[in-house]
A and B are shown apart, each in its own frame.
Chain A
């Protein structure tokens, strides 16, 4: 799926360009510009990063470096909610792999993908430091620990589904 082919994309590019043009300092504001672009487009695909690089006249590798450094930037489309599974050693030992399979099954996607209805994206993380609660999943930064049963997973996800 590609959000770039959305008819509103051209408008987004124009709006982004106008925003960049309005800035006094451009190159110095790369992080701000990337934030603005991510708000607008939802994520920062290669093509958009290249556009920004060319607009600011800086090497695309530098934009890519910055985007990859900060965890709040994403190069893939994200669902409305971001679910993460901790794959650190402690979680792994206590069944993170099984938890991952269960979440994937319930969402109907693989890790790294986004659900059909755009509600969830699913990723894995290295240790998040909540080893005492292993195995751990997170949704939008909120930690849910000691999740073992399919029903527990269902209850967590249910919280984020639109009611009714």
Chain B
């Protein structure tokens, strides 16, 4: 049923059940929000209506109504811009600020903070209330995420994200009334919980209460150490998002400028994680065929997302033999830089620092996993920074990013195919694997390399792909909740697939926890995905096993894919972890 009402004297008709907030947005009237966040595509709907910064005037009501949680009604007369409503909103923000640390200038979220923006928009010029600031300990236990509860405004977006989208359930509101705090179970340090470090909670946190661990200092230190040979590698999803940090439209491809900026920052070599992705496909496709031919465990699950890896280690410890043993692409590139490249060019691997620029928060934690290195002193990857951290470093160095001339990656670990680019978005890893597995299994050339059924933002995508005389049952999921539901079906024997791609972040890595903040606008993710496919189309080679630099690597150094040396350098193992 449709509902007719007026908002600011404009008559409109909207479907029943819509909130005043959403109704106003249909006629381009914006009402500020802070706690409310509704991302249909991700199945995230945080509507606890606690912050009250969305108050509006509804004729005939005694009190102002929170527009995010008040459904429209027939004949409603709403005013969003009365002095009363505006003053009330300002008061709500002042109240939030009364016990909030006033440390914007030194806060890592400075200029990216929703609370700060709101205070600016509403013209808060003084804070009439003196609140007691809380003094909670900052949780620095993990190698990925910093929790600073003193900056928390209790919007509970993080909790909703972690519960409903990721189904990990790390956080809970603890205590009651004035003393409520968002905590982990038993107030454990994050490091001791089942947190996957996907970073989706901090991607939606409106304040600086949840941040990634800043490792730019470590990078700068390595760059200024004349004894270090510093190699940087960049993930596919970074080049389609980095531009946002410099005011470019979402979906702008800035690969060449990014490479130029990295050289200016002083990196000795600029390599491409996409080379590692092409190697991943060589390994993963071979492993899949190996499992098929030797009666190995099916379905094979992808393993390039470290948050997903940690998720199944905690939540499905009995399924540790299901995922592929392949390391993630940036780890593969790291180990190859410190073995193949080091050997070829006579560099002591102990002197090499590998820095990964990732859309990802979990990879910070992953890089420190003890099994991911040739030895304790030679980890595959030394430092991981996010897209956001790179954009900060570029600005700090005073580089005019938008005016840079495009440059190319260094040879040979900078060569890549279109198959590697699509790793950056949901469905891409399996699509890339299929491009190769198809040709290897059927002995025929794959003419149409796009697998449309595996693309798009649906949470679970399925397709049956005939290859030779066999039908391949493929599934793709993103968001850990979707992964959970598919794993539970497998456990119960209700679903049968040959291969499944799983990415922790909604949208895949383009929506990673380390990307420029989307501030609730999911269209940004779609623009990034489109850019990924555009980059794929622009590549002369679009199948991993055609990458000449990769073929040379196998011929000169690794030998057979999934052979002895490959398993030693490019594969890994998983660990049972406790679920809490």
A→B interface (CB under 8 Å): 46, 49-50, 53-54, 58-65, 68-69
Contacts and interface: CB of A to CB of B under 8 A. Distances in A.
B186 A49 contact: yes
B168 A64 contact: no
A63 B183 CA distance: 12
A62 B172 contact: yes
B174 interface: yes
Contacts of B113: none
A58 B168 CA distance: 9
Contact of A69 (B170, B175, B186): B175
Contact of A68 (B170, B171, B175, B184): B175
B172 A65 contact: yes
Given A68-B175, A69-B175, A69-B176, A61 B184 contact: yes
Contacts, number: 47
A58 B186 contact: no
Interface of B: 163, 168-176, 183-186, 193-194, 579-580
Contacts of A65: 172-174, 183
Given A46-B186, A49-B186, A50-B580, A61 B175 contact: no
A68 B173 CA distance: 9
B163 to A, nearest CB: 8
A60 B175 contact: no
A63 B169 contact: no
A63 B185 contact: yes
Nearest to A70: B176
B169 A64 contact: no
A50 B163 CA distance: 17
A69 B180 CA distance: 9
11 contacts: A50-B185, A59-B170, A59-B580, A60-B580, A61-B169, A61-B170, A64-B186, A65-B172, A65-B173, A68-B174, A68-B176
B179 to A, nearest CB: 9
Nearest to B167: A59
B172 A61 contact: yes
Given A46-B186, A50-B580, A61 B176 contact: no
Contacts of B170: 59, 61
B183 to A, nearest CB: 7
Nearest to B171: A61
Contacts of A58: 169
Nearest to A75: B186
Given A50-B186, A53-B580, 15 more contacts: A46-B186, A50-B185, A50-B580, A54-B579, A58-B169, A59-B168, A59-B172, A59-B580, A61-B170, A62-B172, A63-B185, A64-B183, A64-B186, A65-B174, A65-B183
Contacts of B186: 46, 49-50, 60, 64
A5 to B, nearest CB: 19
A70 to B, nearest CB: 8
A133 to B, nearest CB: 22
B174 A64 contact: yes
Contacts of B168: 59
A123 B175 CA distance: 16
B174 A60 contact: no
Nearest to A50: B580
A46 B186 CA distance: 6
A63 B185 CA distance: 8
B174 A62 contact: no
A85 B217 CA distance: 49
Please provide the 6 A-B residue pairs with the shortest distance between their CB atoms, ordered closest to farther. A59-B169, A65-B172, A60-B185, A61-B172, A61-B185, A46-B186
B261 to A, nearest CB: 41
Contacts of A49: 185-186
Q: Which of B172, B176, B579 has the most CB of A within 10 A?
A: B172
Contacts of A60: 185-186, 580
A44 to B, nearest CB: 11
B265 to A, nearest CB: 40
A61 B193 CA distance: 9
B152 to A, nearest CB: 15
B132 to A, nearest CB: 13
Contacts of A59: 163, 168-170, 172, 185, 194, 580
A127 B470 CA distance: 73
Contacts of B175: 68-69
Nearest to A62: B172
A124 to B, nearest CB: 13
Nearest to A47: B186
Contacts of B580: 50, 53, 59-60
Nearest to B173: A65
Contacts of A50: 185-186, 580
A62 B172 CA distance: 6
Nearest to A60: B185
A59 B188 CA distance: 13
A48 B186 CA distance: 11
Contacts of A69: 174-176
Contacts of B172: 59, 61-62, 64-65
Scoring B173, B176, B185 by chain A CB atoms within 10 A of each residue's CB, the highest score goes to: B185
A61 to B, nearest CB: 4
B169 A62 contact: yes
B68 to A, nearest CB: 23
Contacts of A62: 169, 172
A160 B8 CA distance: 66
A76 B300 CA distance: 47
